Amino acid sequence: MSRPHIEPFCDRDVSFKNMILPGFGSGFRYKTLSLDNETGACSLTVQLDSGYKQPPGFSYSELEIVVVEGVIKVGDMTCNRGHYFFVPAGYALPQIESEHGALLLMMYNTGEPNLIESDQHHQFSRTELYHHVDSYKDIVWAPGNVVSPSVAAGCMIKLLNYNPDSHAMSFLYCMTPQFHQDNISYHDCAEEGYHLWGTSWMMQFGDLPTGGYFWRPPYINHGAFASEYGCIAFGRTDSKLYNHFHYNPWSTPDENQLRSAARLAKRDPFLYKWCVNMSHNHPHGPEDFEDTMKRKGHTHADGTHHHHDHDH
Ligand SMILES: [Fe+2]
């Protein structure tokens, strides 16, 4: 997921456009929140107009959906605001309709939005990953200290999706009224957020109101935080969320990255040394022994190419 830093941004400040990609019917309008211009992956605010109806079908991209306002029917199921869907690539959803209209958050995680009309899943779809939940009614708020080191008390989460390999997470988070946290955070992962309701304040970016959004690449300082009346938001990371806290508002992303690497060197010195040197005199990217495509050699910046004959 490579997208530029977008922050602060509020979708209420821009207007909807008609979706013209094939497969989507009329009455599907969108605002782009963020876009990976290499893969077409994007996050959209979507307005389904009254009477919108779309046939059963799948996307070639993994898709997450949150019902922000209004009601949609997915097959026979009525989904109110707060309903969350994790839809693997190639998973055919039944007919979707909205009698009185709805506002959705739609995140196409791995490719551009598409809708291939079908009542069958794609043969390679990992259908076992599909799940959905009424996140407002059927999950309770958990303390935010499931992430270590912990955010301040009063920031709570509901975990919606978790990738056991990358530790990427999708979740709701809320700040209770009068929440405040006085330190500055950055992470080793990209972080995305959308305010479903309410306003929070951040030292670097000011007030983020209802409809407020950020796509924040790794190592960017954010915080202190506060929220006078509280807020509820959808959040997502692309890998493990670790809270690097500090109090230096002037540190740069490069300095934050070096500090993070220094912390790794202290915590896992042998792993760190091995990743950086590979018993060799230059950096070498790590390999996963479970990967099916093994790299046997590599090319240096000066154009020379060689193979390692030692076994990693
Ligand atoms: Fe963060």
The answer to the question of residue 151 being in a domain is yes
Q: Are 94 and 75 in contact (CB under 8 A)?
A: yes
- What percentage of the chain carries pLDDT values higher than 90? 80
d(CA 70, CA 67): 7
Centre of ligand 1 from the C-alpha of residue 57, in Å: 35
Cα–Cα separations (whole angstroms), residue 157 to 84, 197, 231 = 14, 15, 12
Centre of ligand 1 from the C-alpha of residue 245, in Å: 10
- Domain shared by 302 and 211, yes or no: no
Structural domain containing residue 181? 142-260
Q: What would the mean pLDDT of 70-83 be, rounded to a whole number?
A: 98
Among 87, 109, 134, which residue terminates a domain?
134
Measured N-to-C along each axis, helices 253-267 and 269-277 cross at an angle, to the nearest 10 degrees, of 120
Q: What is the pLDDT of residue 286?
A: 53
Check whether 101 has a pLDDT greater than 50: yes
Centre of ligand 1 from the C-alpha of residue 257, in Å: 15
The answer to the question of residue 268 being in a domain is no
Of 204-208, 280-284, 298-302, the range with the highest mean pLDDT is 204-208
The answer to the question of residue 39 being in a domain is yes
Centre of ligand 1 from the C-alpha of residue 186, in Å: 6
Centre of ligand 1 from the C-alpha of residue 187, in Å: 7
- Domain shared by 130 and 149, yes or no: no
**Phi, psi (deg, nearest 5) at residue 3:** -130, 150
Centre of ligand 1 from the C-alpha of residue 191, in Å: 6
Centre of ligand 1 from the C-alpha of residue 47, in Å: 28
- Domain shared by 146 and 251, yes or no: yes
pTM: 0.88
d(CA 38, CA 23): 22
d(CA 159, CA 146): 10
Q: What is the pLDDT of residue 271?
A: 86
- Please state the length of the chain: 312
Centre of ligand 1 from the C-alpha of residue 211, in Å: 18
Token pair, residue 259, equals 């500090």
The answer to the question of residue 269 being in a domain is no
Q: What would the mean pLDDT of 265-287 be, rounded to a whole number?
A: 74
Q: What would the mean pLDDT of 242-246 be, rounded to a whole number?
A: 94
Q: What is the pLDDT of residue 312?
A: 43
The answer to the question of residue 265 being in a domain is no
Centre of ligand 1 from the C-alpha of residue 185, in Å: 6
Centre of ligand 1 from the C-alpha of residue 85, in Å: 23
Of 138-147, 168-177, 275-284, the range with the highest mean pLDDT is 168-177
Q: Are 188 and 218 in contact (CB under 8 A)?
A: yes
Q: What is the pLDDT of residue 276?
A: 79
Token pair, residue 52, equals 């919108």
Centre of ligand 1 from the C-alpha of residue 74, in Å: 33
What CATH number is attached to the domain comprising 216? 2.60.120.10
- CA angle at 71 for the pair 32 and 175, rounded to the nearest 5°: 65
- Domain shared by 107 and 211, yes or no: no
Indicate the helix (H) or strand (E) that contains 258.
Answer: helix 253-267
- Domain shared by 36 and 94, yes or no: yes
Cα–Cα separations (whole angstroms), residue 164 to 33, 120, 161 = 27, 27, 10
d(CA 23, CA 113): 10
Residue predicted with more confidence, 201 or 289: 201
Beta bridge partners of 134: 83
Centre of ligand 1 from the C-alpha of residue 310, in Å: 40
Domain tally for the chain? 3
Mean pLDDT of the chain: 91
